[in-house]
Structure 1
Amino acid sequence: MNQSVDWHPAHSKADAAADTTCSLWEQRPDERAYALLTGGECKTENRWGHRINLLELNPDWAVGQSLFINGNPEVGHYSERNKQHGFYFTADNCIGCHACEAACSEKNQNPGHIAFRSVGYVEGGSYPDYRRMNISMACNHCDDPVCLKGCPTKAYTKHTEYGAVLQDPETCFGCGYCTWVCPYNAPQLDPVMGQVSKCNMCVDRLEVGLKPACVSACLGNALDFGVVENIPENRAEARAAIPGFPDPAITQPNIRFQQSKRLPEELTRTDSMPLKYHKQASGEYRPRVDPKHGMQRQWNLARLSSRENPLVLFTLLSQGAIGTFMLAFGGSLLGLESMSSLRASVLYAPLCLAALLMAAGGMFLSTTHLGKPWRFYRGFNNLKFSPVCREGLGIAVFLSMLALHVLVSLPHSSLFNRLSDALFGWDTAVLAGPASLLLANLFGSLALAGALGGLYYMYRCYRIQARPFWNHWQVATDFGGQALSLGATLLAVSSLALQPFTPG
């Protein structure tokens, strides 16, 4: 039966009770034994030291909770549904037929440009001792899911049922940050629908005692599924990683491997990533930058343009606005003579207004980067974990406080007073006084705090362990340096542009 999972965490029991016509999964009467889940004894903890029985981690969670799959409140009958499950992959058996990919896409009714499971390989050696190892990869429903922590909309949930990490596409607004942080390329951003979706562990099949579709379709018996740390029949190993697999310490994935055939000392990837995998004395393979291709430095202008262009502009405009205000206002607070003179001059108010417009323009551009821009307000749902949320909050505080700072600083600007008097006949100079100056300092200090917080979490957004070329402290110096250099440039340009209006 071709049936996708329509899973919504906000589905109420009343809604589900109104529509119970859709079954969890229609099981065939002649289902083969290899497609059936089997229970039995299991370990107490996994290799990461976490409890396998997830009810022990959530003692308040009642047994028999429904997942409301396809709007159906029915609860599955599988006895081990509250234990952490995971995939088991025997690399020696995989023939690279891609049957698992096809079964997954058919079951989930995925379009051609979306694949929840994919098969790749690494290779090495030379004729006649050339060797290749295939690897089938999907979501590993990790113990420490970085997609869940990174998602600003809280579209991800780690469930007590099967330990499945499920994602609700209807909550997602299509920023794609989860696709950045996941080491396994599990979340898939659909540019047509403007949202992310991913492997759902086939929880509808699990509820009726069936293994996921990809496992049931595997021709070489390379894929298996069950309670994590339980080694399948006729298997001897349960490794946490094999060559080409990212460092499991990043997310503590719930997948185990067997790979016993001899491999060359060095393995290469078949994509454009300039990495090679070298065998260590311990027998493990560690990634290393390819010295022939990975050390080259180039501008790579052809790759600068992408769907991330609005995000690039947001980053540069925000950094420029922050740098301008930090130099002008922060310098005056520190008692720097040049910045104190700037704040007392006619240049200060226009400079702050320019910084305000830059930051506001950057925030607007950041929403156009989303797959569903009208859902931008969901970007603050996960302040507890997501650096994207905290970055947005910092910039929002900077924007609002800077606007108030500009408003109460205008009466102290002789240029503004002359313009308001000439255009409207208003004597705004009477509003200038100790109280307005105190408010200006208060709002300016809050704007500065928001700016520093936004800049810090902008940096944290790019410290991604799954992307080693980004995960470096120099990202902080780059962002800080860009903010100061762009701010200094704007200060210089503004000084030249407004020089005719400056009293001699």
Structure 2
Amino acid sequence: MHEWPLVIFTLLVQGSVGITLFATVILAYANDKLDTKEKCRFALPLMLVAFIAGALGLMVSTAHLGYPLNAFHALRHVESSWLSREIIFASLYLGVLGLATLVALFTQRVWTILLLIASLLGIIDIFCMSAIYVHSSVVTWMHFNTYWMFYGAALGLGAIACLWSLATRPVLPALQVKTVAITAVVLVIAVTLCRLVEQPIYVGYLATFWNSDVATFPHQPLTAFEQLSHLRLASWLMLVAGVSALALCLRADRINKQVLALGSVLVVVAEVLLRLSFFSIN
């Protein structure tokens, strides 16, 4: 399955960016409510997870290259290549995040400004990552749906990490934990609804190519898209069920870890299956 390296790479990097973004937003929200040690106790585990996920993602990304040692040659066309730009911004993102994590580890102090810079670099990196496929010759990729999918996955995976952090290390007061958790879930619900609403537009776009003379040999993305319709339907149902479980885990005063675990598994598996369907073009 030659799609798996791309599936793992994109989801790990996007999840890493989502975690960094949520950690940054929460620290900014709680800036006046937490002391230095509490900020570090909350943010450091998230930073470590984000850095490890991003580093593993970049390592896995070389697996789909014919000769991984040639990866550095992709940097030679920054002015015209989205791949070159993606590599540069991914490296900058991981470098700044790594620096912020090292500072936190050795000084027990979180530099929010470094996390903010890393978040911005990560957002740009996801844009460049999406643009690689949008500007390809594969019709199932050349649509705004690609941006929605990649950013949606980043926010969803980041929200899950945020909820687990709040559930296991509640450094904020209970009322503020609930406020942040509800905000994260509402954001995921909104993004998921936007992705669902966008799907008919995406399918309508693909329909314009069915009877055209467009050919992308040796790939048959439209045929693969049709063959995987049941997988996509199951993935969307799973994603909706997972997001619903994330919402239900907030019904009590404390985050229900069992329901959160169920929602997390459903969302992650759904994103993996949707990404596998996206990269299956043969």
TM-score with structure 1 setting the length: 0.31
User: Aligned-pair distance for 1:469?
Assistant: 2.2
AA aligned to 2:119 is L
**Does structure 2 conserve the Cα–Cα contact (< 8 Å) formed by 1:331 and 1:340?**
no
**Does structure 2 conserve the Cα–Cα contact (< 8 Å) formed by 1:394 and 1:453?**
yes
Distance in 2, matches of 1:495 and 1:412, equals: 23
Distance 1:480-1:359 versus aligned 2 partners, 3 A rule = same
2:53 is the counterpart of 1:358: yes
User: Aligned-pair distance for 1:496?
Assistant: 3.9
Aligned counterpart in structure 2 of residue 368 of structure 1, from 45, 58, 63? 63
AA aligned to 1:319 is Q
% identity of equivalent residues: 27
Aligned counterpart in structure 1 of residue 12 of structure 2, from 317, 327, 344? 317
User: Aligned-pair distance for 1:338?
Assistant: 9.3
2:149 is the counterpart of 1:454: no
User: Aligned-pair distance for 1:472?
Assistant: 1.4
User: Aligned-pair distance for 1:341?
Assistant: 5.4
2:143 is the counterpart of 1:472: yes
Distance in 2, matches of 1:341 and 1:379, equals: 43
**Does structure 2 conserve the Cα–Cα contact (< 8 Å) formed by 1:321 and 1:358?**
yes
Counterpart secondary structure, 1:381: helix
Distance 1:468-1:368 versus aligned 2 partners, 3 A rule = closer
User: Aligned-pair distance for 1:446?
Assistant: 2.7
Distance 1:503-1:329 versus aligned 2 partners, 3 A rule = closer
2:152 is the counterpart of 1:481: yes
Cα deviations by residue, 1:214-255 (Å, 9 ceiling, x for unpaired): xxxxxxxxxxxxxxxxxxxxxxxxxxxxxxxxxxxxxxxxxx
Distance in 2, matches of 1:402 and 1:477, equals: 24
Distance in 1, matches of 2:97 and 2:7, equals: 22
Residue ranges of structure 2 left out of the alignment (5+ in a row)? 175-282
Distance in 2, matches of 1:339 and 1:370, equals: 47
User: Aligned-pair distance for 1:467?
Assistant: 2.3
Aligned counterpart in structure 2 of residue 386 of structure 1, from 65, 77, 81? 81
AA aligned to 2:120 is A
Distance in 2, matches of 1:345 and 1:377, equals: 35
Counterpart secondary structure, 2:45: helix
**Does structure 1 conserve the Cα–Cα contact (< 8 Å) formed by 2:27 and 2:112?**
no
Cα deviations by residue, 1:285-324 (Å, 9 ceiling, x for unpaired): xxxxxxxxxxxxxxxxxxxxx2121111000000100001
- Determine which structure has more spread, i.e. the larger CA radius of gyration: 1
Counterpart for residue 308 of structure 1 = 3
**Does structure 1 conserve the Cα–Cα contact (< 8 Å) formed by 2:20 and 2:158?**
yes
Number of equivalent positions: 172
Cα deviations by residue, 1:445-504 (Å, 9 ceiling, x for unpaired): 3312321111110110111363222211122121111100001112223444556x9999
Counterpart secondary structure, 1:371: coil
Distance in 2, matches of 1:330 and 1:484, equals: 12
User: Aligned-pair distance for 1:379?
Assistant: 2.3
Distance 1:331-1:372 versus aligned 2 partners, 3 A rule = same
User: Aligned-pair distance for 1:348?
Assistant: 0.8
Counterpart for residue 24 of structure 2 = 329
Counterpart for residue 250 of structure 1 = none
Counterpart for residue 56 of structure 1 = none
AA aligned to 1:346 is R
Say what the alpha-carbon RMSD is for the aligned residues.
Answer: 3.0
Counterpart secondary structure, 1:313: helix
Counterpart for residue 102 of structure 2 = 407
Distance in 2, matches of 1:372 and 1:340, equals: 50
Q: Which of structures 1 and 2 has the larger relative contact order (alpha carbons within 8 angstroms, sep 6+)?
A: 2
Counterpart secondary structure, 1:346: helix
User: Aligned-pair distance for 1:412?
Assistant: 6.0
Counterpart for residue 116 of structure 2 = 445
Bigger helix share: 2
* Aligned ranges 1:180-329 → 2 under 5 Å: 306-329=1-24
Distance in 1, matches of 2:106 and 2:56, equals: 25
Structure 1 runs (4+) deviating above 6 angstroms are 501-504
Counterpart secondary structure, 1:469: coil
Distance 1:370-1:465 versus aligned 2 partners, 3 A rule = closer
Distance in 2, matches of 1:382 and 1:331, equals: 37
Distance in 1, matches of 2:144 and 2:92, equals: 25
